[in-house]
C-alpha cells in the first residue's frame, strides 16, 4: 500500500481537485474546498493557501486547521516568516520543527503554535510566485521527497485558479505584475544605440495551458515523447538546411541546443511530473517554472544561457502539445515589431523578419552577449537589463526604444511619440548622408587620411566591410565560436572558419585577436572560472599560456587558413613583455610545424598586442622592437586605469574617456609608437563615437576600429575636420585641471562646423 504522498495518492488528490474546480461555485468557495481535500489526502492537520497581493504581501486566503477568523486577516511580507521565505526564494521548504527555524514568525490569530512540522511550496505561474501552499502537523515529522513532489503538483493546479482574476481583482493583479495602465519609462543598459518605435512582441509567449490534470498518464507520456521527438526532428532539419546556420557560429548554437533537447535529467523530471498526475503540457511548464525560479538569482553567464535554452525548448514543446503552430500563437506580426525577451540567442533574433524589426529589449543581456553583437551588426537598437520588462508589457503595447540613452517607453503619450518620430526622421536623414559617403575616402579637410576599420566577431559582420565602406577589420574577436560550443572546436573547424573570414575580406586586412575568454566570457568546457574579480583574473593570454594546447591549436588554424595570404595576429591582455615572448615561442613552433609538413606559409605574418593593462605602459621601450603593431583596447585600459568596472551601472558616468588623464596616456603611447615606427590603432568604444574619435585623431591616431554602424558618423566627422587647427586647440587644453574636456571639445566642434 502506498503512502498518501506517493504516486497513486497524488493522482487521487488531483482527481478530487479537478472535481472541485469543475463545481459551480465561487473561487473562494472552491479554495475553501481545496484546502479540505488537500489536508485529507496529505494526512495533514493543517492546509493553508496564501495569495500574493499588491505590495509584496502574502494574504491567508483559505485554511483547514488554523483559526478560520485568520483568513484575510493574516498577512506576511515576502521574505517574512517561513511562508514569506518560500515566496522570496521560490523553492519548497520542509521542516520537522518549524518553530525552531530562525525565520519562523508567530501570528497569534492563527492558533498555529500547536503545529510543529511544516511543508510549503511556492505556487508558480509563468515562473513567477503567485502564492504559497502549506501543510502542517502537530507531530515532529520529516516530509519525504515524494510528499514534496505531490504538494508541488497540487500547487501547479492551484496556480490557474489563483491567477484567474476571481480571487484578486485583475487591476491589482496587473499592479502585482508591475503592469500599469499609465505610461511607463524603464531604464536599462545601452547594448546598441538607435531609436525604434513599434508594438511589443513577446519572445516568450504566454501559452495558455487548458488541461492540467491527466486522465491517462500513459497517454500523456506518449504525447510528451511524440512532442519531444517532433522538436528534435525539427532541430535536425534546421541543422541540415538553414540560413541561420550558414555562418558557422549559428550552427554551433543549434548543435548545442539540439544536445540540450536530449538531456535525460530534464526529460526524467517531466516524466515524473506526468506520473504524478499532470498532463504533458502542465508537466513541461511546471518543471520549467521550478528551474527558472531556482536559477533566477544565479549570475553565472553559462548557467543563465542554459536557462534560456530551456525556455526556448519549453516553448517549442508547449506549442506542439497545445496545438499552436508558431511561437506567436498564430497571430499576425505587426509591421513595426519591438521584440521583448528575457534573453535570446543570435539565431533566434534572426528568426524575426528583419524588414519589420525595429528594436530589441532584454531583461538580461550584456554588451558581449551574442545577440547584442549580432544586433549591432544588423543596426538594431538594443536596451538590456530592463528590469521586469516582460511583466510590465503586454503583447501589442506601443513601445519606444531609445538605445542611445537606454530608455524604454511603454504605452507612451502622444507628445512623446511625436518627439521621437521627429528624432527618428532626423536620424534617418543622417543615415542617408552616411550611406552617400560609403565610397568616399576618410580624409580630413587638410589632407590627412584616417583608416576606419570595423570590429567583428561573426561571419555576418563581414558583409559590412563593403556596405559601410570600411578599410578592413581592425579587431576580429575569435572567442565567439568557442563560447557557443559544448566542447573546444578542433583545429580543422577553426581553420575552416578563419579561411571563410579571409575569403570574405577579399584582400582587405583582418586582425585576428587570439582567444579572449574569462572575465564575463566563460567557456563551459574549461575549468577554473568563478573568481571574485574575473576581469582582473584568469583570462585572455593568461589562459592561453597556462593551457598552451588551446593556443597552439588556434595559432595552427590561423596559420593554415592564411596560406599565401597576409595574416595579422594580436595577443590580448599582455601585461609584461615576457608574456609576449612566451606567446611568440608558441607561434614559432607552429610555423616550424607548418614548414616541416611542406605546407605553404602566410604571405606575410604580422604580430601585435593589445594595450589594455596599464603595466605595459612602462614597458613600451622593450615591447615595441618585438611587435609589428599595437592596438589600444580602450574599454579595458580605461577601466583598469580608473579601477572602475565598466559593467557597473553606478560607475557608467563617473569617469570620462575625454578626461585629461586619459588623453595624456594615449598621447604618450602615440608619441612612443611613432618614434619606434610601430603602427598604432585603437579598437574600443571611443573609436566609434565621433566626438571621441575627433580627439583621438588630434592626438595622432591614424587608424580607428569600431562597430560597423559607427563608420558613417565617424567618416562624416573626419571629412569635416581641419585636423591641424584641432591639434593646436587640443594641445592648449591638455593641461587643464578639469574632470573632462568633453564639453570644451564639443563646443569647438559646433563652432567650427565639425559633424559630430
Instruction: Summarize pLDDT for 365-381 with one digit per residue, the tens.
Output: 776 566 776 787 678 99
Confidence of residue 393 (pLDDT cuts 50, 70, 90): confident
- Both 233 and 167 in one domain: the answer is no
Q: What DSSP string runs through 1-49?
A: ---TTSHHHHHHHHHHHHHHHHSSS-HHHHHHHHHHHHHHHTT-SEEEE
pLDDT at 47 over 80: yes
Residue 267 domain-assigned? yes
pLDDT at 672 over 50: yes
pLDDT at 279 over 60: yes
d(C-alpha 26, C-alpha 32), whole Å? 10
- Both 594 and 646 in one domain: the answer is yes
- Both 87 and 221 in one domain: the answer is no
d(C-alpha 160, C-alpha 125), whole Å? 8
Share of residues in the chain with pLDDT > 90 (%)? 41
Q: How many Cβ atoms sit within 10 Å of the Cβ of residue 114? A: 10
Top-ranked range on mean pLDDT: pick from 59-63, 238-242, 272-276, 596-600? 59-63
Contact yes or no for 295/307 (Cβ under 8 A): yes
Share of residues in the chain with pLDDT > 70 (%)? 83
487-501, 532-546, 740-754: which has the minimum mean pLDDT? Answer: 532-546
pLDDT at 244 over 90: no
The reported pTM is 0.59
Looking up residue 116, the CATH number of its domain turns out to be 3.30.450.40
- Both 460 and 545 in one domain: the answer is yes
Residues with catalytic roles:
370, 683
What does the CA dihedral 705, 706, 707, 713 come to, rounded to 10 degrees?
A: -120
Confidence of residue 275 (pLDDT cuts 50, 70, 90): confident
- Written as nine digits, the cell of 577 is 613583455
pLDDT at 136 over 80: yes
Instruction: Summarize pLDDT for 168-179 with one digit per residue, the tens.
Output: 776 555 555 544
21-25, 336-340, 344-348, 727-731: which has the minimum mean pLDDT? Answer: 344-348
CA 627-629-634 angle, to 5 degrees, is 120
Confidence of residue 591 (pLDDT cuts 50, 70, 90): very high
Residue ending a domain, choose from 326, 353, 377: 326
Q: What is the total count of domains within the chain? A: 3
For residue 567, list its beta bridge partners. 605
- Both 492 and 620 in one domain: the answer is yes
- Both 582 and 535 in one domain: the answer is yes
Q: What is the pLDDT of residue 532?
A: 59
Q: What is the pLDDT of residue 374?
A: 72
Residue 523 domain-assigned? yes
Residue 126 domain-assigned? yes
Residue ending a domain, choose from 665, 682, 707: 707
CA 748-753-756 angle, to 5 degrees, is 75
Only one residue has cell 510590465, namely: 392
Q: What is the pLDDT of residue 329?
A: 45
Q: What is the pLDDT of residue 294?
A: 62
Confidence of residue 331 (pLDDT cuts 50, 70, 90): low
- Both 271 and 145 in one domain: the answer is no
Top-ranked range on mean pLDDT: pick from 91-105, 475-489, 660-674? 660-674
Q: How many Cβ atoms sit within 10 Å of the Cβ of residue 109? A: 13
Count of residues making up the chain: 756
pLDDT at 256 over 90: no
pLDDT at 745 over 90: yes
Contact yes or no for 434/239 (Cβ under 8 A): no
Beta strands in 526-650 (DSSP E): 566-571, 604-611, 629-632
pLDDT at 715 over 90: yes
Residue 118 domain-assigned? yes
Confidence of residue 669 (pLDDT cuts 50, 70, 90): very high
Instruction: Kindly state the average pLDDT of the residues 176-192.
Output: 69
Q: What is the pLDDT of residue 297?
A: 55
Confidence of residue 391 (pLDDT cuts 50, 70, 90): confident
Looking up residue 242, the CATH number of its domain turns out to be 1.10.274.10
Which domain, by its residues, includes 533? Answer: 441-707
- Both 464 and 608 in one domain: the answer is yes
- Both 151 and 18 in one domain: the answer is yes
Instruction: Kindly state the average pLDDT of the residues 403-410.
Output: 89
Q: What is the pLDDT of residue 296?
A: 58
- Written as nine digits, the cell of 404 is 542611445
Q: What is the pLDDT of residue 585?
A: 95
87-91, 374-378, 488-492, 531-535: which has the minimum mean pLDDT? Answer: 531-535
- Both 270 and 142 in one domain: the answer is no
Average pLDDT, the chain: 83
d(C-alpha 239, C-alpha 67), whole Å? 60
Report CA-CA distances (Å) from 161 to 59, 154, 540. 15, 12, 52
Of residues 353 and 454, more confidently modeled: 454
Q: What is the pLDDT of residue 534?
A: 60
- Both 504 and 626 in one domain: the answer is yes
Contact yes or no for 423/227 (Cβ under 8 A): no
Q: What is the pLDDT of residue 400?
A: 92
- Both 243 and 156 in one domain: the answer is no
Amino acid at each position: 500500500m502506498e503512502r498518501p504522498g506517493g504516486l497513486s495518492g497524488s493522482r487521487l488528490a488531483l482527481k478530487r481537485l479537478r472535481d472541485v474546480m469543475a463545481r459551480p461555485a465561487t473561487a473562494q468557495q472552491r479554495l475553501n474546498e481545496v484546502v479540505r481535500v488537500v489536508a485529507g489526502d496529505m494526512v495533514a492537520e493543517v492546509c493553508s493557501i496564501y495569495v500574493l497581493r499588491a505590495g509584496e504581501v502574502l494574504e491567508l486566503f483559505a485554511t483547514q486547521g488554523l483559526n478560520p477568523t485568520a483568513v484575510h486577516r493574516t498577512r506576511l511580507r515576502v521574505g517574512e516568516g517561513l511562508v514569506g521565505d518560500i515566496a522570496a526564494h521560490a523553492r519548497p521548504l520542509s521542516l520537522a520543527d518549524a518553530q525552531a527555524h530562525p525565520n519562523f514568525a508567530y501570528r497569534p490569530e492563527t492558533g498555529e503554535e500547536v503545529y510543529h512540522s511544516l511543508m510549503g511550496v511556492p505556487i508558480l505561474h509563468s515562473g513567477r510566485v503567485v502564492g504559497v501552499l502549506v501543510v502542517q502537523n502537530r507531530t515532529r515529522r520529516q516530509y519525504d521527497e515524494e510528499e514534496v513532489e505531490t504538494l508541488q503538483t497540487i500547487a501547479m493546479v492551484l496556480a490557474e485558479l489563483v491567477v484567474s482574476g476571481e480571487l484578486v481583482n485583475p487591476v491589482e493583479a496587473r499592479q502585482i505584475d508591475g503592469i500599469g495602465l499609465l505610461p511607463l519609462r524603464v531604464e536599462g543598459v545601452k547594448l546598441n544605440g538607435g531609436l525604434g518605435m513599434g508594438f511589443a512582441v513577446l519572445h516568450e509567449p504566454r501559452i495558455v495551458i487548458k488541461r492540467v490534470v491527466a486522465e491517462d498518464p500513459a497517454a500523456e507520456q506518449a504525447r510528451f515523447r511524440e512532442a519531444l521527438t517532433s522538436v528534435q526532428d525539427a532541430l535536425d532539419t534546421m541543422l541540415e538546411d538553414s540560413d541561420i546556420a550558414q555562418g558557422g557560429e549559428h550552427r554551433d548554437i543549434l548543435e548545442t541546443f539540439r544536445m540540450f533537447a536530449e538531456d535525460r535529467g530534464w526529460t526524467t523530471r517531466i516524466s515524473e511530473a506526468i506520473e504524478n498526475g499532470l498532463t504533458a503540457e502542465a508537466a513541461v511548464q511546471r518543471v520549467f517554472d521550478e528551474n527558472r525560479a531556482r536559477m533566477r538569482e544565479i549570475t553565472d553567464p553559462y548557467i543563465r544561457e542554459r536557462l534560456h535554452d530551456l525556455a526556448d525548448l519549453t516553448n517549442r514543446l508547449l506549442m506542439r502539445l497545445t496545438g499552436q503552430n508558431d511561437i506567436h500563437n498564430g497571430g499576425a506580426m505587426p509591421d513595426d515589431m519591438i521584440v521583448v525577451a528575457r534573453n535570446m540567442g543570435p539565431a533566434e533574433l534572426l528568426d524575426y523578419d528583419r524588414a519589420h524589426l525595429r528594436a530589441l529589449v532584454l531583461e538580461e543581456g550584456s554588451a558581449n552577449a551574442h545577440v547584442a553583437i549580432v544586433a549591432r551588426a544588423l543596426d538594431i537598437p538594443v536596451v538590456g537589463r530592463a528590469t521586469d520588462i516582460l511583466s510590465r508589457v503586454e503583447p501589442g503595447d506601443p513601445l519606444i526604444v531609445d538605445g542611445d540613452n537606454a530608455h524604454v517607453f511603454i504605452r507612451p503619450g502622444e507628445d512623446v511619440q511625436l518627439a521621437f518620430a521627429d528624432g527618428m526622421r532626423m536620424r534617418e536623414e543622417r543615415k542617408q548622408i552616411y550611406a552617400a559617403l560609403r565610397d568616399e575616402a576618410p580624409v580630413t579637410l587638410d589632407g590627412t587620411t584616417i583608416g576606419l576599420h570595423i570590429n567583428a566577431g561573426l561571419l555576418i559582420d563581414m558583409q559590412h566591410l563593403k556596405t559601410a565602406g570600411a578599410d578592413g577589420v581592425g579587431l576580429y574577436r575569435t572567442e565567439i565560436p568557442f563560447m557557443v560550443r559544448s566542447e573546444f572546436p578542433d583545429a580543422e573547424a577553426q581553420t575552416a572558419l578563419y579561411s571563410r573570414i579571409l575569403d570574405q575580406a577579399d584582400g582587405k586586412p583582418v586582425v585576428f585577436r587570439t582567444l579572449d575568454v574569462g572575465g564575463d566570457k566563460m567557456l563551459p568546457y574549461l575549468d577554473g572560472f568563478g573568481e571574485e574579480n574575473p576581469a582582473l583574473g584568469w583570462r585572455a593570454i593568461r589562459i592561453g599560456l597556462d593551457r598552451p594546447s588551446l593556443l597552439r591549436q588556434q595559432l595552427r588554424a590561423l596559420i593554415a587558413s592564411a596560406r599565401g595570404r597576409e595574416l595579422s595576429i594580436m595577443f590580448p591582455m599582455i601585461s609584461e613583455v615576457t608574456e609576449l615572448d612566451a606567446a611568440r615561442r608558441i607561434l614559432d613552433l607552429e610555423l616550424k610545424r607548418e614548414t616541416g609538413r611542406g605546407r605553404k606559409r602566410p604571405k606575410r605574418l604580422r604580430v601585435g598586442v593589445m594595450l589594455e593593462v596599464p603595466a605595459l605602459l612602462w614597458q613600451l621601450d622593450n615591447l615595441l622592437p618585438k611587435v609589428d603593431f599595437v592596438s589600444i583596447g580602450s574599454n579595458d585600459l580605461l577601466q583598469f586605469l580608473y579601477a572602475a568596472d565598466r559593467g557597473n551601472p553606478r560607475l557608467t558616468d563617473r569617469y570620462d574617456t575625454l578626461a585629461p588623464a586619459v588623453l595624456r596616456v594615449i598621447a604618450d603611447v602615440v608619441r612612443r609608437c611613432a618614434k619606434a615606427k610601430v603602427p598604432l590603432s585603437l579598437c574600443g568604444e571611443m573609436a566609434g563615437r565621433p566626438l571621441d574619435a575627433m580627439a583621438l585623431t588630434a592626438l595622432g591616431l591614424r587608424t580607428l576600429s569600431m562597430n560597423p554602424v559607427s563608420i558613417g558618423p565617424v567618416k562624416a566627422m573626419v571629412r569635416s575636420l581641419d585636423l591641424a587647427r584641432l591639434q593646436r586647440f587640443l594641445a592648449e587644453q591638455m593641461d587643464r585641471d578639469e574632470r573632462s574636456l568633453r564639453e570644451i571639445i564639443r563646443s569647438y566642434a559646433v563652432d567650427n562646423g565639425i559633424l559630430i
